[in-house]
Structure 1
């Protein structure tokens, strides 16, 4: 206790951060302290402020001074309001006291507390002046008395009517529909005034309700109010001293009326539509807070809430099933309820249009190391709904996945795709979007590598000027950005101005690093610059040329040949040959190349170029037919000049002119041929002879060093068919072969026919003499001998009796029998 200042331990085992202390003495003042404790000991304490132990309820507060409402010479009616503070307990009654103004003693009017807040005080002395005070009482006790009322003389006064409206009546009185309307006011006047309640309107009559007067309170009660009871009400008091009127505004709050038609359905999609309606004619006296929209699938017939917090008179309904028929209804809502619905007609969820067709002509317009510009043309059809944007996708060459290149729809027909990796190849495709969705993708662009941009070309140089033209040359860009260079743009600026005008419309008109600008103004001064264009990119302009004045100069043509071109140029067939000549003259001469008098034109294997003063003819993989004299002619207005370059092409020889099999035998063949008509510009060193059996695909070499135009091929197999080929060779190579017709390996004659039947001329004990006639056909070759055979009559085995070469006569003696 704070008076004793002696601490006592209430508890030493509290485990929470709070505790309830009991057994205190009411009215005593206490201080509490808390200490934390651990295994090392107890810490320092923390103290509370002093606090008195008492209950949480008090006696009531002091009421406001009471009012005296009705006064007569013997009685007065006193009224009062409850105190603002009831001490935490309900007020159980009031004690009213009175005293005469000059007296100091208060006399109780009520011996015991009364629950009412109104009391008629009687037995007063006429002409005396009285004051009143009131005290409130609850379970705790009697509170302090109020301040005294105003002094009032006990008499019957004549007072004009007065009306005292409650604070709640002075403002707008709001009542919810169905609840009663209660209007009241304190009225005064002597004599008692006549009280009249009216509703301001057509006839100023209250058609329902009750009107009453209780003491000084005038009441008007209208049960079961409706919105029609809203309006302005008047209270009028009339007595002999005058007239008084006050007005009270009443608003009855109710749920709103239904939304108003037309109920429109628009912007119908396959899964959504837009609804719109008008606000209700009657808002129920309260602002419309929202609308509740319901939908009904006609095939199912049940209503479900689609949206419950629509704040406008339109909304977008989604999650419809394509092809289904729907109805909708909408209700208005304020804080007092939901109105009756407004229903729509039927609709079918489907788009009135299609998706667009695919975009056209997707292409790359500009390339950088981390950004590629993609452009395209609009689709042929928008599907019946305007194009809302485009979606771009990209894909790496080694990937199967397409990745979005833009997060939001692109409205234009060109888009820079960023975030690329330098050196990788990309392709792009585009989708067109409308309200129905996305189109099919466009045809993908060609793959393009993300690389640095194209460098500008070199500074242009003016090499020739006429009265209206200027001939320019420049160097290629050092870096083409990884894409093929397709041409150039040339721009001219007339000095002293700074406006650059393009001299050509497309880069394909200037594929090389030279151009003649026409249509220039004579004696005017110009500068020129070039811009490189690749298949996917365009460079910055080059450095401007030096200023040049446009006026003609006349210098006759002059041709200078390099020392290597002045003598005969000998090359091997198959090599590339470059014929060059430096040509000078003003204006720049027109250059013509001729071969053996015929004009030489660019073709496959022939390239003719002129760069600055250097005129060239490039011959690719030359052959013997291109041997000859090449003449260059330079011509301008001041004359003409020609020069000749002699070219000799050395080549392998052509095939032999002809070949034949001179003799064919059973084991050998004798071949002969004519030398080639074309020796390739070098002497034939030898011939190569090959053979093959026609039944086999491979050739076998007979000899690679045949010095003459004939050869005997040996080791043939009799009866087999053979083919032979011969190639000529010089120091530049082996020429094309010539082939013989297939031939069979056999002799040029046949075996002889059989001799005549042998005749027995003589017989001995062990021998027989035979004779015969020569064969009728010798096979085309003289008979060189006969072969005699014998066999025993009882066997089938024939045995030779001689060698053919040893018997040339037509008779023979068989011995050893």
Structure 2
């Protein structure tokens, strides 16, 4: 078949009714050669909304959630190179009624009027009808009307009560809304709304006395003062609601007021006493107060008032309530009954502002405001900037902060670096920065260091808070000027020259690329050998050469450099190359056991110093018999000593010991090993059953004898440690018996411990004994007694003892 124009194979109804919220699918199919393209469009030219899905490949147009705006005429257009064709269809929107305003249950008084609104939306527009108690409401009387869905009933009667329904409908459905109407008829009743028994008003003030009885229908309300009918005048008005308004109250207005309500069903009344009180007046005039930081001030608030009324004072600071007892304890009430005075102690700048005193009674209230000016040191300057920067200077600018009511006299500048301890004062040009000056130059700065600056203002009242720091800046770099300190050397291995120094601190390196130049020469030579050490943290340089003789004398100097150039050399220092270790071993090594944990070693010294083999001290190596020598512990002595005590050993154990000399090159050969066996351990059992008693100025102690175990040294005696209180040094008394008598001043508290000792040393201590301060002549106790003991009869014990202090 040849080419031909599109032919649409689908026919649409003239109008399609679509419900609100439904989804519409329109499908268009056309034949043609070439295959035609199919598009959908609205005839009115309105573009499709985003929710519309048009599938060109299948010719389907889908409209979800159909709304009023989607209604209209839609056209399918099929087109190819031979021509085009189209077909149209109309989508019409409809919606069942939906109630948007419903009548509510009502309670109305007889003879009152009712209006119920009822409104619904829908397409087509809904119509309305009303029903009462399930039957259609046909307005037979002129007082019942239905207009645009609204039901109105005037001059209600009891028979109007019932259940009403508003019905809204169109051809797609109906909706209902129910409401109940109650019509009441009651005599006046004040049961729920009695007049206040006491009504207070200030002299010259206004008051409204409410009269709201329950009654239906609404009747007539009148007022009485005392037993007479109240006559209205310019100051007394009965409002439409029945309430009584009284203006510009006078003392003569006081009295008993009665509201009388009546309708066709009855009469009722309610009374209340009106009392006219003297007005509360603040007699303190408004003022502006002036005070200096750190001072205290009383803010006055004096009042005159009706003496029968209680006053309540409240203070506000900048319209914020002051809570006394908080706010750092600055505020304190100091007023009496008719005074609300407060005191502000140790005033700070933050206390400047507006203060309001408010006084209140049951009848009225009054307030007065006063301004408090606080003079003090200046506030912090602002906007601190570094305008110009060199290797040792910085030009700053700033803006002044508040002077706090005292002119700024001078400024100071402080600086901080990563190397300083906090903020430090700096030298400036000019040296004295006047209060009107807002720029200055800081001098004597270190090159290539990061600085922050801040400015502090000073006036006659003191030094203010510092400004915020400036942005961090780095001074420019220059060649270094500071050389390393404590240049020294010596030590190391054979044929080595070791040169050491203290590194130059980073803040003194003056720039990046910092390093050291090490120069050295044999003593007496004229030429220098040099080496660069490119590390700012370096503290040592080692020169190794086989020609260097042990302990040879050298001259050394260390210089500095950075990327900007070389700095100076430090002073000449004389050092020595590495020496040789001692060649001989100590002789006549002897050892003896002192206790279970200590031995003493003696030896004959070597010559103290030779040209190349100095002796700086001796090294003792010791190990248990059951251990290998490479597990030995080491004890070093310094100087030309001939003995040493080794501590911390095990009791009843055999040890081997060697001695060798050492210097910076290392240790020499060891002596022949000697052995020693430590003494048995001291007694492990502490003294028990410790008893004490006092007699006049004496304390008598006795305890049970300690028996040593089989592997422990025998008990040779006991040490009694005693002191007056917990802070004094203890004194010691030794005894070979199990009791002791101490002559001590009375009326003091004592702390006592007892421990046995033997050949192996001191044993375990008894529990600490506290002997309390006792005012009576005699007392007795034991190690388990508490420190508050009653005075008891004494038991005297005699003994012999020897004192060792």
TM-score class normalised by the smaller sequence: under 0.3
Q: Max radius of gyration: which structure?
A: 1
- What TM-score, normalized to structure 1? 0.24
